[in-house]
Amino acid sequence: MPITEFLEKNARIYPNEVSLVEVNPSQSPHKSTTWREFSLIESAQSEKYRREMTWKEFDTKANRFANLLLTRGVKRGDKVAILLMNCLEWLPIYFGILKTGALAVPMNYRYTADEIKYCIDLADVSILVFGPEFTGRVSEVLSTLDGVKDFFYVGADCPDFADSYDTMVTYCSSIAPAVDITDDDDAAIYFSSGTTGFPKAILHNHRALVHSAKCEQNHHSQTHDDVFLCIPPLYHTGAKMHWFGSLISGSKAVLLRGVSPEWVLHTASAERATIVWLLVPWAQDILDAIDSGDVDINEYKLDQWRLMHVGAQPVPPSLIKRWKEHFPNHDYDTNYGLSESIGPGCVHLGVENIHKVGAIGKAGYGWETKIVDDSGKPVSQGSVGELCVKGPGVMKCYYKNPEASAEVLKDGWLFTGDMAKTDEDGFIYLVDRKKDVIISGGENLYPVQIEDYLRANDKIKDVAVIGLPNDRLGEIAAAIIELKPGETCTEDEIMEFCADMPRYKRPRKVIFADVPRNPTGKIEKPRLRQIYCGGSLVEKQTTK
CA distance 220 to 333: 9
Asked if 210 contacts 365 with a C-beta cutoff of 8 angstroms, the reply is no
pLDDT at 253: 97
Strand partners, 433: 418
pLDDT at 232: 87
- The backbone torsions φ and ψ at residue 502, rounded to the nearest 5 degrees and listed phi first, read -55, 140
pLDDT at 537: 39
**Domain boundary assignment for the chain:** 4-30+50-258, 334-433, 437-533
CA angle 428, 432, 438 (to 5 degrees): 145
CA angle 430, 543, 479 (to 5 degrees): 55
Which tens digit of pLDDT belongs to each residue from 75-120? Answer: 999 999 999 999 999 999 999 999 999 999 999 888 889 889 999 9
Q: What is the DSSP letter of 283?
A: H
CA angle 521, 523, 528 (to 5 degrees): 150
Which tens digit of pLDDT belongs to each residue from 362-372? Answer: 999 999 999 99
Strand partners, 385: 420
CA distance 454 to 449: 9
Topology given in CATH for the domain delimited by 4-30+50-258: Rossmann fold (3.40.50)
pLDDT at 520: 62
Does domain 334-433 fall under CATH 1.50.10.20? My reply is no
- Buried-state track 283-313, b at ≥16 Cβ within 10 A, e below 16: bbbbbbbbeeeebeeeebebeebbbbbbbbb
Does domain 437-533 fall under CATH 2.40.30.10? My reply is no
pLDDT at 538: 39
Three-state secondary-structure class, residue 79: strand
- The rounded mean pLDDT for the chain is 88
Residues in the chain with pLDDT < 50?
Answer: 31-45, 194-196, 535-544
Strand partners, 190: 202
pLDDT at 38: 47
* pTM greater than 0.85 (yes/no): no
CA dihedral 208, 257, 69, 99 (to 10 degrees): 30
- Which three-class secondary structure string do you get for 118-148? HHHHHCCEEEEEECHHHHHHHHHHHHHCCCC
pLDDT at 195: 43
Which tens digit of pLDDT belongs to each residue from 25-67? Answer: 877 655 444 444 444 444 434 556 889 999 999 999 999 999 9
Q: What is the DSSP letter of 234?
A: T
Asked if 129 contacts 109 with a C-beta cutoff of 8 angstroms, the reply is no
